[in-house]
Structure 1
């Protein structure tokens, strides 16, 4: 298996057409077809099914596509790292981040950093914390922004300041939804007990936290939807499906707050600090070190 074969495979997967892939790669079609056959023979799987001129990626192909993207990304990143190890003014800074950071902290941080180091470029992967840690563990990003809880002992971790929070204030959880769901409470805060019976929309990684708190209080919540991406919660509360439970800084990214009510969850309050993390025992490019230092200033 060669770098070129992976590159050819990804081009075919992207275009679903051999002719279009050959044009994209600026090569003729016969060698492209030949390299695909060699790759399938080596892997002993069919990567594409063929219907006329159209190619449809198989389940095996999709799995291999993800791995091929990781391999090429890591290879390119390694080359860039070696070429620019001692030069903080050039290169690419790769970042994985949760949406709440991408929506407020990251743009301002990059703008400031860009003024000092205009030749640095950026690759941003917006995802949940689990995926961000996976990308970091696999060496595909230089640093990651994730939310607690996570195994902090595995990483170098530093808390991240958020403009929506006051000095030294921890991020907290809120319930956000249409006013019809909050007719029983006029307070700006709501307890876990007061959420019982309400249809709740919960990010999957926070469900375990809620389950544990409910077990301690011997109550149960009515969760009508679990999801993996906080953005989908906004669409669901727009449709008045239920009340979304999320960190305050995530809720502040929602641009239609006027028609909704937002209440801080108390008794107990739930904190969810954002951290910037890097791998332990791993060399960082100078640009990454300086970017993290800027975040802490």
Structure 2
């Protein structure tokens, strides 16, 4: 099994037709079919079910798709990094972003860096903190914006300012219009929309205060929580920077009084990636706080 075979396999799996895949790869169909057959022979399984109108992926093929995507992406990343190392300032920077990073990224530091590095291409991957952290360690990402808490071992971090979680309330809750902060007990009677990243944090907090929250939704994207709050469906519990970025005039934004709801964003890379001039230069642009290695 080689990289070319995996690239051919992915093209056929994504196109669903040998003819379309051959056109996409700029090869003739017989060599493409031969490579797929060789791959199936080597693995001892059928990767595709042949149909009159094309092909569909078999269960074995579906399993191979995810591995093939990772391997081809890693190969492309390795190629870009080797070339970038030779030039120091050119190449592709793979940047991971979580949904609640919109309040700090893009920012002036990023725009300044991009202006100075016109030959650099940004490849952005979106996901949650744990997904992006895994991609960092797999070397699929160079840097990522993550939200505390996370395991900082073998990482280099540049921290943004600490911020408090807030409640984003539909405007009908006028009883809170004159309040600057809300306590946990204020939330118990409200329909809450929770960002899954803080499941454990809110569970422990309500448990310790012996309050029973009323959750109507848990989601993986903090922007989704904001959208539902804006549509007057419930109260979103999200970081302040995100709330200030997306809040409309249809909601009230109120801080949570308890300091356990403080959180921080961090620009993170691995110690190995810091050895490349491209990544090191990017990280050095962000000097808001002390680096923790």
Q: How does the TM-score come out when normalised to structure 1?
A: 0.87
Residue range with higher mean Cα deviation, 53-62 or 73-82: 53-62
Contact 1:97 1:145 in 2 (8 A): yes
Structure 1 range deviating more: 59-68 or 169-178? 59-68
- Structure 1 residues 206, 47: CA separation in 2 closer, same or farther (over 3 Å shift)? farther
1:88 aligns with 2:52: no
1:185 corresponds to which residue?
A: 176
CA gap 1:47/1:281 in 2 versus in 1, 3 angstroms:
same
Structure 1 residues 103 and 2, CA gap change in structure 2 (3 angstroms): farther
Q: Deviations over 1:115-141 (max 9, x none)?
A: 212111111112111111011011111
Cross-structure match for 1:61: 61
Decide which moves more: 123-132 or 64-73: 64-73
Partner residue in 1 for 2:234: 242
Cross-structure match for 2:21:
21
Evaluate the alpha carbon distance shift between residue 8 and residue 110 of structure 1 in structure 2; reply closer, same or farther with a 3 A threshold.
farther
Note the alpha carbon deviations across 1:186-207, whole angstroms, 9 max, x for none: 3132111111132211121211
Aligned to 1:294: 285
Q: Which of 269, 276, 279 pairs up with 2:270?
A: 279
- Structure 1 portions without partners, runs of 5+: 161-168
| C-alpha contact (below 8 Å) 2:170/2:233 kept by paired residues | no
Contact 1:171 1:249 in 2 (8 A): yes
Cα separation, 2, equivalents of 1:242 and 1:79: 47
Tell me how far 1:292 sits from its aligned partner. Answer: 0.7
Partner of 2:73: 73
Counting matched residue pairs gives: 287
State the TM-score, normalized to the length of structure 2.
Answer: 0.89
Task: Identify unmatched segments of 5+ residues in structure 2.
Answer: 289-293
CA distance in 1, matches of 2:186, 2:107: 37
| Per-residue deviation, 1:104 | 4.2
Q: For the Cα contact (< 8 Å) 2:102–2:242, is it kept in 1?
A: no
